[in-house]
Structure 1
Amino acid sequence: MKKNNIYILALTLLFAISSCTKVDFGDINTDPDSPNTAIASSLLAGGQLGFRTIHYGATRPALYVQYVSNAQYEDASVYTTQRYDYAGYYAHITDLNKVIELNSNPDTQIAAAAYGDNNNQKAVAMLTKAYYFNFMTDNWGMIPYFDANKGIENQYNEFDEQLDIYQDLFNQIENALSIINTSTEGPSGDILFYGDMNKWKLFGNTLMLNMALRLSKKDPTLGKKYYDKAIQNGVINSNSDNIYFQFTSIYDNLWYDSFVTDNREDEILSKPFVDALIGTGSNTAPEDPRLEKYGSKSQNAGVYVGAPYGQRNPEVKDFSFITDDIIYNATAKGYIFTYAQTLLNKAEAAQLNWTTEQTAEEFTNDGIEASMEQWGVNSSDINTYISNRPAFNGLKTIAYQKWVALFMQGYEPWFDWRKHGSNQVPLTKPTAATTAGIPNRQAYPLTALGTNKENYDKAIAIQGPDNLDTKVWWAVD
C-alpha cells in the first residue's frame, strides 16, 4: 500500500509537467521520514516522461517517413523547421542522475531505499538515460555526452562522436543490467514498467539489440558483438513482451490531445503509405490487411485514400484518417520496441550473416506475422498475405517490412529508413521541400550556436553542415 501511495503522489505532482520543463523535485518535495531528502520516486517519474513525447507524441518522424500528410498547413512536410531543441532530455537526465546519486551516496541511500531496492533504482535510471542518449545521438548525430552526462547544466560542452557514444552506451547498458535484482522490489515512481525488473532486463537487452543493428553499415564487428550479447541475455520473444508506454488519464496520448482536446485535424494518412499497402489489391480491399487496422476509409468516398504528401490537403474528409484506436484513445499504447521489430532485426542480422538461427526470409515472414497479430489481423488474412507477397529480395524486403511494421512507433521507423537509404522504401520528395530530400537528421538548437559555438563549430567540421541533409555517422555509406 505504501508503494501505491507513493506512486499516486508522483502522478499528482507531475500532472502539469511537459517534457521540456526542468523540475527540481529536491527543492519542493520532502520525504516525511527524511525531511531533507528529495523524493526518489518523483524524480524517477519526472525523468521518464521523455518516453511520452519520443513516441506517439512525435508527429515529425511520422511525416518524415510519410505515414501521414499535412492537412491545413504543409510547412512540416516540406521541412520548414530545421532546428529542434534537446534541452528537455538533458532536464530528464538531471532528474535521473539525482536518482542515481540518492541511491549511491551512503548518506542518502538508506532513505532512498524506501522507494525500492537501491540497485534497482539505479539500474532503471541508467537504462532510461541510455535510451535517451541513444535517441539523441541518432537524431542529431554528435552531441554533448561525456561531460554532459550530469544533465541540463552541462549541455554546453564538447560534442562527442557517435562511435564513442555508442561504445559507452553499450557499457552503461551492461552495467545497469548487471546490478538488477529481480528478487527484490522495483522502484516506486516507475511509470514505464511499474517496478517490474524482469521487464527492465528485457528492455535493456532489446535496446542493445536495436543499437547493434544500427551499426551494421559502419561498424559491423562492434554491432555483431552486442547483437550476440543481447540475444544470449534475452530479448522480446512474443507480442506479450512488447514494450510500450501506457498512456493514462494523466499522461495522455498526445495524438488524442491534438485531435480531441485541441480539436485539430492536422494529420491524415499519406498517399505513399496508403498506396504501398493497397498494392495489388483495391481501395476497399487492400493487399496488406494492416491498412484496415492502421487507418479508416475516407468519410466522403468510403475507400482507403491517402493525401498527397508535401502540400495542403484541407478537404480532410476526402482522405483516410489514422485509426481511431490512436487519435481518439487517450490511453493508447505508445510502442517502444515490439516483437515484430525484433524479428525483422533478426532478419537483417541473418542477411548480414550475423546469425544462422533461421534464414532472413524466415525471420521476415515471422516478423510480418507478429506485426499483423499485434494489430489484430486474423490468421487467414495473414497467411494469404505472406503466401502472395512479392518475392523476398534481401534487405530491400526487410527494410520495407520494417517501415510497415513500425507504423507510428515514434522515431524508430525514421531512424531505420535513414540507415537503409531511400531506395529501400517508396517515399516521395516534396516538390516544395527546403531540403535535398527526406531529412537525414535534425539540426542543433539555436542555443548550441549562441552559447556553445566553439564546440558547435568543431562538431560541424567533423560531421558536416548543420542541416537536415547531413547524414549521421552510422548512416554514411
Structure 2
Amino acid sequence: MRKHNIFRYLWLAICPIAILSSCTKFADSYYEDPNRPSKASGTQLIANAQMYLSSVSSSAYGVHYPQYLSLTTYTDNTRFIATNLNFSTWYIGPLMNLESVLQNEKELNANEGPVANQIAVAKILKAFFLWHVTDRWGDIPMSEAFKGIDLPNPKYDRQEDIYNALFILLDEANNSVVSANGNIKNDIIYKGNMAQWKKLGNSIHMLMALRLSKVNPEKGKAEFIKAMNAGIMTSNNDNLSYPHLAEAANENFWYNSFTVQKRNWYALSEVLVNHMLPYNDPRLSVYGDKNSSGSYAGLEFGKLVPNPDVDIPKISLFGSTIRKQDSPVHLITYPQLLFAQAEAAKLGWISGGDGQAKTFYEDAIKQSIAQWTGGTSNVATYLANADITYDANKAIEQIATQRWIHLFPYGYEGWAEWRRTGFPNLTVASDINGGQVPRREGYPTQEASNNKINYEAAVKAFPYGGTDGLNTRVWWDKP
C-alpha cells in the first residue's frame, strides 16, 4: 500500500529541507547517495504529516467530550480529570513537516509531481491541523510558530485571526492546483488525485465557515458560499478517511486497545444509544456490539462499572466491525457537507429555504447510513420516524443531532459542533467538572513557565472571560 516506502524516509521528518539541501553539497561533489537526495522529498514530508491524521480522531480524550463513549474502567477521562493537554505534538510533528515543504519550495523535486500541487496539498493539510488545534484550545501560536530556536516563545494569535488566515490559505490552495498530469507521489490519502484534494480543501473551508454562524454570520455566509461554489465533495468516494493496514505498525487505535491489549474499556454511552435505539437506527449495529442479552445498552457517562466481569457483558462495547486492524478512520465526509448545507439553507445562507434544507437533511442521513452500513435499504423506514422526519420548527436541532450521530467516533468534531449548536442536550453529573460539559482544553502546563508572557496575554484575552481550563469558551463559541 501507500505507506510502505514512507518509513524508509522518516529521517526527513526531523531534518528540515533547508538543512538537507546544504548537507548534500559535499556529497554531491563525489556521488549521488540515494539516501540523501540532492532535492528533498516534499511528498515524503507530506506523507509523514498525513500519518498523524488518524490521531485527530482516535483519541483517548476526544471521544468523551461529545459523550460518544463511556469508560468501563479507569473513568478519569469521562470525569474530565485532565484539564490541561499538550499541543506540542502537532507543532513538532505534522505542522513542522508541512512548514518545511512550504518554506522550501525551490528545493522540492518536480519528479514527484508538480511543485504547485505539493504546495497546495501542504497548505490544505496545514489548514486542517491548525483548525483542529485552534478549535481545541482557542488562541494558539501561528504567525510566530515554526521558527525554532530563532523564536522559542511565540505569541498566541487570536482565533479569529487564525480562521481568517486559514481561509486565505485554503483559497491559495484551491487557486494553485494544476490539474493536467498533476498527481503527486507518496500520497496515503488520495493516491495523488488532485481533484479530490481540491474538493477536500474547499470542503474544509466550508465547514470552517459554518463555525462562524453565531459569532460572525455575515463572514461565515460569504466564506461558505465561496467554498461551496469552488467545488466540494460530491460522494462518499471523496471522504477524507485515514487507511490503516492489517499490520502491527499501522493498525487502528481501537484494534490495539481491544484486541492487542485486551481492554474492554470503551462502551457506547447511554445518551448515544438513547438517540439511536428507539428509532431502529441502522448505524447502531456498526457503532456498537450487542450485549450478552442480544440487545443494545449504553453505559451512563462517567459511571464506574462496579463489577467488570458481571456488568460489562450487559452493555454494548465499541463496535467490533469498525475496530478491525485495518478499519479506516473517517474525518471529513460527504454526509457532513450535506448536513452543513442543510443548516445553511435553514439559516438562509443559501437559497431554497425549508424545502432545500429538507432535501439536504434527508440526503445527508441517506449518505451517512450508506457510509457506515454499505447500503440504504433502511433509510425510508428510519426517516419515517416522527422525531426524524424533517420539521421546520425544530430543523436546526434535528440537523445538529443527526450530524452528531454521523460524526461518531470523531469526537473532537462532534464536540465542536455540539458547542456551536447546543444539540443534542448533553449533561454531566454535578460531581463531574462541576456539572459542566467542557468547552475547550487547557493550555499545556509548561506554557505558563516556558512562554509566560505570551501565555498570560492569551489567557487575559479570552473573548468571554474565564480562566485557563475546560470551562472557558473559544471565540466562535458565543454564549
Normalised to the residue count of structure 2, the TM-score between the two structures is 0.88
Structure 2 CA distance for partners of 1:245 and 1:355, relative to 1, 3 Å: same
Distance 1:414 1:146, change over 3 A: same
Give the drift of 1:410. 4.2
* Bigger mean CA offset, 262-271 vs 136-145: 262-271
Note the C-alpha offset of 1:156.
2.9
Alignment deviations for residues 434-462 of structure 1 (CA, whole Å, 9 cap, x no partner): 24411111110012112111111111111
The answer to which of 467-476 and 240-249 deviates more is: 240-249
Q: Find the residue that maps to 2:70 and give its secondary structure.
A: strand
Residue in structure 1 matched with residue 111 of structure 2 by the alignment: 114
Of 280, 297, 308, the match for 2:290: 297
Identity in percent = 32
**Change in CA separation of 1:153 and 1:115 when aligned onto 2, cut-off 3 Å:** farther
Matched, 1:89 2:90: yes
SS of the equivalent of 1:64 reads: coil
Give the 3-state SS of the residue equivalent to 1:69 in structure 2: strand
Pair 1:237 & 2:229 matched:
no
Amino acid of the residue matched to residue 217 of structure 2?
A: P
Counterpart of 1:322 (choices 315, 318, 321) is 318
Which one is further off, 455-464 or 359-368? 359-368
Match of 1:310 in 2: 302
Q: Is the 8 A contact 1:94 1:151 kept in 2?
A: no
After superposing the two structures, state which structure 1 stretch, 338-347 or 371-380, moved more: 371-380
Q: How large is the RMSD of aligned CA atoms in angstroms?
A: 2.4
Matched, 1:337 2:337: no
The equivalent of 1:282 in structure 2 is: none
Task: Give the C-alpha shift of residue 326 in structure 1.
Answer: 1.8
1:191 aligns with 2:193: no
Instruction: Say if 2:391 is the partner of 1:400.
Output: no
**What CA deviation, in whole Å up to 9, does each residue of 1:378-434 have, x standing for no partner?**
54421011122315212111111111111112421111011012xx21323034312
Q: What amino acid maps onto 2:14 in structure 1?
A: V
Whether 1:364 aligns to 2:361 is yes
| Residue in 1 that maps onto 2:56 | 54
Equivalent in the alignment of 1:78: 79
Query: Which stretches in structure 2 are left out of the alignment for 5+ residues?
Result: 25-31
Displacement of 1:306 in angstroms is: 0.6
- Alignment deviations for residues 222-265 of structure 1 (CA, whole Å, 9 cap, x no partner): 11111111111111122222221111234321111211222222
Deviates more, 1:261-270 or 1:286-295: 286-295
Alignment size in residue pairs:
452
Counterpart check, 1:441 vs 2:436: no
1:298-332 C-alpha deviation (Å, 9 max, x unpaired): 0x2221001111021233211101211222x1211
1:162 aligns with 2:159: yes
Deviations 1:14-44 (A, max 9, x none): 4xx9xxx973375799773664544333322
Structure 2 residue 11 is the aligned partner of structure 1 residue 10: no
Displacement, 1:50? Answer: 2.2
8 A Cα contact 1:86 1:445, kept in partner: yes
Most deviating of 165-174 and 362-371: 362-371
Residues 150 and 127 (structure 1 numbering): CA distance in 2 closer, same or farther, change over 3 Å? farther
Q: In the TM superposition, what are the counterparts of 1:127-206 in structure 2 within 5 Å?
A: 127-150=124-147, 156-206=153-203
Question: How far has the Cα of 1:59 moved from its partner?
Answer: 3.1
C-alpha distance in 2, partners of 1:224/1:380? 35
Contact 1:97 1:150 in 2 (8 A): no
* Pair 1:143–1:414, CA change in 2 (3 A): same
Instruction: Name the counterpart of 2:28.
Output: none
In the alignment, the residues of structure 1 paired with residue 145 and residue 228 of structure 2 have an alpha-carbon distance, to the nearest angstrom, of 31
In structure 2, relative to structure 1, the CA distance for the partners of 1:363 and 1:127 (3 Å cut) is same
From 232, 244, 248, give the equivalent of 1:247.
244
For 2:474, the aligned partner's letter is V
Secondary structure (helix, strand or coil) at the match of 2:74 reads coil
Distance 1:8 1:52 in 2: 17
Distance 2:370 2:152 in 1: 42
Counterpart CA distance in 1 for 2:40 and 2:271 is 50
Letter in 2 for 1:307: L
Preserved CA contact (<8 Å) 1:143 1:159: yes
